Amino acid sequence: MTEILWHGRGGQGAFTAARLLGDAYSLKDNAYALAFPSFGPERRGAPIRAFTKLDKKPIGNRSEITRSNYSIFLDDTLFNEKSFRELKQNGIILLNTKKTFDDPRVITLDGDSIAERILGLPITNTILLGAFAAVSREITLEDINKAIRQTMPRRLHEKNIAAVKAAFEEVVA
C-alpha cells in the first residue's frame, strides 16, 4: 500500500487534492483508494491533514496514516524536523517552497509561482498533485485530468489541468 499524508491550511485545498488523487488512481481496474480528511471542525487557516491510501486490493484499515510513503506540504510553514518522523523508510517529502534543502528525502517545487502564473490564485493543491505524479509515477497526467473533470466545477477544469502539467514538467526537468 502507498500512503500519502497531505499537510495544508484550511482553505488551501489539501483534502480536495487527497480526493483527486484517490479518484485518479482508482480509475484503473483492480485499483483501490481511500481518501479522507482529519475529522473535526473546519477553520480557514488552521493546519489540517488529509490522507490518501492506494492499493491493488480493497483497503480495510480506515485509520489515519501515521507513517507515510509521501508527505506533501502545500505550505512550508507546516514543515519542520519532526516531519521526518512521520515518514516510512525511503519515504519522500514533497514541499511547496521557494527555499532549497540539501536533503535527498526532500523534493521542492515553487508551486506558488506556478499558481500565480496559471491560476492567478495562491492555491497549489492540484500543482502538488502534478508534482506527485512526476515523483511517484503512481498515476498519470491523463488520470488526474479525468478526476479533475469528474469532480471539480467546470470553470476550474482547464486552468487546473494546465497547472498540473506545468508542475509535472518542472519536477521531471
Give least dist CB 19 to other proteins, A: 5
CA proximity to 111, closest of 134, 130, 83: 130
3: contact with other proteins by CB under 8 A = no
Question: Candidates 21-29, 79-87, 95-103, 120-128 — which segment interacts with other proteins by CB under 8 A?
Answer: 21-29
67: contact with other proteins by CB under 8 A = no
13: contact with other proteins by CB under 8 A = no
Q: Which residues pair with 50 in a beta bridge?
A: 6, 37
Q: Which residues pair with 19 in a beta bridge?
A: none
d(CA 29, CA 77): 38
Give least dist CB 77 to other proteins, A: 26
d(CA 82, CA 105): 13
Q: Contact positions toward other proteins, by CB under 8 A?
A: 19, 22-23, 26-27, 32-37, 39-40, 58-64, 147, 150-151
